[in-house]
Amino acid sequence: MTTLSQDHTAENLEYDPLNPAVQQEPYPYYKVLRAKEPVKWLPSLQAFGVATYDEVDALLKDGITFSSAQFWPELLGEYDPVPEELPMISMDPPNHVKLRKLANKAFVPSQVNKLKDRSYQIANELIDDIIAKHGNEGEFDWAWEFTALYPVTVIAEVLGVPTDRRSEFKVWVDLVLSAANRAVYGPERLAKIAEAKVSIRDYFEDLYDDRAANLGDDLISTLIQTEVDGVQMTRNQVLSMAVLLLIGGVETTTNLLGTVLVELKRHPDVYQRVRADHSLIAPLIEEVLRYNPSVQIIFRHTTRDTELGGVSIPKGSAVMPILASANRDESKFENPEVFDIDRKIEVPLMSFGQGPHYCMGNYLSRMEARSALEVAFSRFAELDVISDDIHWIDSYFARGPHTLPVRFKTA
Ligand code: HEM
């Protein structure tokens, strides 16, 4: 367990999201922020970081003062695969509401529940492949051979995406998301990100053509045919939505499933209990979402002079609510630095955001994660992360293990 008490230098920690050491273990820095400077100017990102629950909650619920319009441009900069069109996550009212209503049809619980059996099947097929490749015991990479492939295959069902290039997809998405660090990258790394951007764009251009020629009942086909205010969605609007759903829906759930195994490695007592009683999988997922969430930080931009936590924020400022820090706010969660699957959660987690942009895929990702873990724990008698030394992906915004070698034995 990582606790601040183990880190006696924490009081002196200066939070800089671009510092690789911070990205590997940000939580001691968040704790200092909450105690000392919950709303803090971050020079490296030219943004205000917001670390406490009430302030994060208030700003996310005020979409007028704290606009989402700069979210995507700030995150990806010139590495946005569809720069011509802002995705829904980066829209303000009234356009946001219209588009959300439309896309949300695919994500309501009744629709998601239709995908449940298919999720079990996909998880079983991936495990069949792993056993075919590695035998009944040995080692494999949970991050690349399972979690990178599973959510992309589930969302492929929703979108009508062919799955043959799904493993390349994680490489592209990791690279494009790492554009958030572009300020500190050299030309070689930036060139790789630019290549990934082009690959994603090409992938979706092909997908659009394929769907337009073979309309089905998948979401892309629906979007191609849909009209918003009597006007059909443009090609770029559809591409932008597809990129958002894939980036938003794949990487996040992939990372969640990776982090679950990391936390089980760090908390063997919990692992034993969950193994013996699969009904504990749901509270396990909730605690991982709270304790070490896939989305650490999101982005807003002020449309007027305002004030937050006693700090004046001028109009036109970038503001970064630190969701992962709000989830450990001492005033909302008892012993927040302790990983506890039995905790009573009395306020909503910030892991999926709050307010008008609250994650559209929250129900889907929870269902996916539950199904995958139920299958994995049934098929594998042993499934243990090998090393304590975890290399987290290079991002201050997205969090999950970059690779995760595990030792396994079939049941
Ligand atoms: C563990 C999994 C996930 C996490 C932690 C997560 C997190 C988030 C967060 C924090 C937001 C709010 C962004 C904001 O307020 O600016 C968000 C929005 C969104 N998420 Fe997720 N997400 C997850 C899974 C998914 C999945 C599976 C999908 C869909 C396939 C999805 C689709 C979306 C969409 C479309 C939005 C934008 C909603 C809007 O702008 O109204 N997410 N997500």
Mean pLDDT by runs of 10 across the 411 residues of the chain is 41 85 96 97 95 98 95 91 94 86 82 89 97 98 94 82 74 86 92 95 91 87 80 87 84 95 98 98 98 97 97 97 98 98 96 96 96 98 97 92 97 95
CA dist list (Å): 62 to 169, 274, 302, 390: 34, 39, 10, 37
187 alpha carbon to ligand 1 midpoint, in Å? 31
pLDDT at residue 199 in the model? 93
pLDDT at residue 258 in the model? 98
Q: Residue 253: CB within 6 Å of ligand 1?
A: yes
pLDDT at residue 3 in the model? 37
Q: Residue 298: CB within 6 Å of ligand 1?
A: yes
Q: Which atom of ligand 1 is nearest to the CA of 60?
A: 15
Say if 82 falls within a structural domain: yes
Say if 181 falls within a structural domain: yes
361 alpha carbon to ligand 1 midpoint, in Å? 6
Q: Name the closest-CA residue to atom 27, ligand 1.
A: 249
- Tokens representing residue 336 in the block: 């927040």
Strand ranges, E, within 325-386: 380-385
pLDDT at residue 98 in the model? 82
Say if 22 falls within a structural domain: no
CA dist., res. 159 & res. 145, Å (int): 22
pLDDT at residue 11 in the model? 56
Provide the CATH number for the domain around residue 242. Answer: 1.10.630.10
Asked if residue 50 lies in contact with residue 319, where contact means CB atoms within 8 angstroms, the answer is yes
126 alpha carbon to ligand 1 midpoint, in Å? 25
CA dist., res. 371 & res. 406, Å (int): 19
pLDDT at residue 132 in the model? 98
Q: Residue 240: CB within 6 Å of ligand 1?
A: no
351 alpha carbon to ligand 1 midpoint, in Å? 9
Q: Name the closest-CA residue to atom 11, ligand 1.
A: 359
- Tokens representing residue 110 in the block: 């009744």
335 alpha carbon to ligand 1 midpoint, in Å? 27
Question: Are β-strands 318-321 and 47-50 bridged in parallel, bridged antiparallel, or unpaired?
Answer: parallel
Q: Residue 250: CB within 6 Å of ligand 1?
A: no
32 alpha carbon to ligand 1 midpoint, in Å? 27
Instruction: Give the burial class of 279: count Cβ atoms within 10 A of its Cβ; 0-12 exposed, 13-18 middle, 19 or more buried.
Output: exposed
Q: Name the closest-CA residue to atom 36, ligand 1.
A: 359
CA dist list (Å): 231 to 98, 102, 228, 276, 402: 12, 13, 5, 54, 42
Say if 21 falls within a structural domain: no
The single-letter DSSP state of residue 327 is T
Please count the structural domains in the chain.
1
CA dist., res. 20 & res. 8, Å (int): 20
Q: Which residues, 6+ apart, have CB-to-CB distance to 130 below 8 Å?
A: 140, 145, 146, 408
CA dist., res. 346 & res. 405, Å (int): 35
Peptide linkage before 94 cis (omega within 30 of 0): yes
Q: Which atom of ligand 1 is nearest to the CA of 250?
A: 27
How would you classify residue 392: left for phi > 0, otherwise alpha for psi between -120 and 50, otherwise beta?
beta
CA dist., res. 78 & res. 58, Å (int): 30
Say if 17 falls within a structural domain: no
pLDDT at residue 12 in the model? 67
264 alpha carbon to ligand 1 midpoint, in Å? 24
The single-letter DSSP state of residue 88 is G
CA dist., res. 369 & res. 283, Å (int): 12
Q: Name the closest-CA residue to atom 19, ligand 1.
A: 359
Say if 8 falls within a structural domain: no
Q: Residue 221: CB within 6 Å of ligand 1?
A: no
Say if 328 falls within a structural domain: yes
92 alpha carbon to ligand 1 midpoint, in Å? 16
Which H or E run includes 311? strand 311-313
Say if 80 falls within a structural domain: yes
Domain that holds residue 115: 38-410
Could you tell me the pTM of the whole model? 0.91
